[in-house]
Amino acid sequence: MPSARYALPVCSLRFIPIWRRNLLVWKKLALASILGNIADPLITLIAFGYGLGSLLQSIDGVPYIQFLASGSICMSVMMAASFETLYSAFSRMHVQKTWEALLNAPLALDDVVLAEMLWAATKALFSGVAILGVIFLLGIGLHGKVFLVLPLLFLIGIAFASLGLIINAMAKGYDFFTYYFTLVLTPMVFLSGVYYPVAQLPPWLQWFAQLLPLGAAVSLIRPLILGEWPATPAADIGVLLAYSIAGFYIATVLTRRRLLK
C-alpha cells in the first residue's frame, strides 16, 4: 500500500545478525579493504602535504601538513561509507540477491537497510582509525582531545552511508554511481575545507559549505585533532544528524518502492 511505503522505518534488533554477517564476510579481506580505503587519502596527504606544504608553509598558523591531515580523515570516512553503500550494497541487493534471501527469513526490509547503514558507518570508522594511525605516526594529534574524534567519525559515516543508500536504491547499474561521485562527492571535497580554508570562498559559498555534511565534519574534526575545541559543535552535529535521519528515511522509502512490489 502507498501509505505503508511512506511510513516511518520500524526497526528491531534483528539488524544485528545482518551487520554481523557483513562483518564476517569483510574479515576475509580486511587488510586489502582497509588499504584500499586509505590509499587515496594517504597518497593525497603525502603528495599535497609535503609537496604543496613545501610551498605553503602554514594556514592560520597551522602547518599545512597538519591542516590537510585533519581534513583528509573526514574525506576518508566519506569515501569509505560511500563505496560500501554503493558498490558493495548494490552487489548484495541487485547482483548477489543477498537482500532477497534475507527477506525470506523473519526480517523486515527496514532492518536490512538499517544494518547496511550501520555496517557502512562501522567500516568507515575502521578506515578513519587507520588514517588516524598514520596521522599519529606523523606526530599529529597526540593529545587527549583526539579520543572525541572516534564517535564523531562514526556519526559522519552514518550520514554518508544514509546518502549512499539513497543512490543505491535508485541505481540501475554500477555506472550510475559515477554521477554521484562526480557531481556530489568531488565538489563537496573542494567546498568543505579539506584542502584550504572555507573562508577563502565567496560569502555565499561559505554559507552553502556550512550546510554540507563534509563541511560540518571538517569543522568538528579539524579543531579536535589540532588540540582545540570546535567553534560551533552543536550546529555541526545537528547538520550531520539531519542528513543521517532524513537520508535513512528517504533511503528506506526508496528501497521499499524498489523491492516490495
Contact 197, 59 (CB under 8 A): yes
Q: What is the pLDDT of residue 261?
A: 63
Whether 1 has a pLDDT exceeding 70, the answer reads: no
In whole angstroms, what is the distance from residue 34 CA to residue 151 CA?
Answer: 19
Span 135-186, pLDDT tens digits: 888 888 888 899 999 999 999 999 999 999 999 999 999 999 999 999 999 9
Q: What is the mean pLDDT of residues 26-52?
A: 75
CB atoms within 10 A of CB 137: 8
Q: In 18-136, where do the E strands start and end?
A: 58-59, 62-63
- Residue 127, strand partner residues: none
In whole angstroms, what is the distance from residue 60 CA to residue 199 CA?
Answer: 11
Q: Model's pTM, two decimal places?
A: 0.93
Contact 161, 84 (CB under 8 A): yes
Least confident range from 137-141, 144-148, 196-200, 237-241: namely: 137-141
Residue 78's nearest CA partner among 227, 181, 198, 222 is 181
Span 202-220, pLDDT tens digits: 998 999 999 999 999 999 9
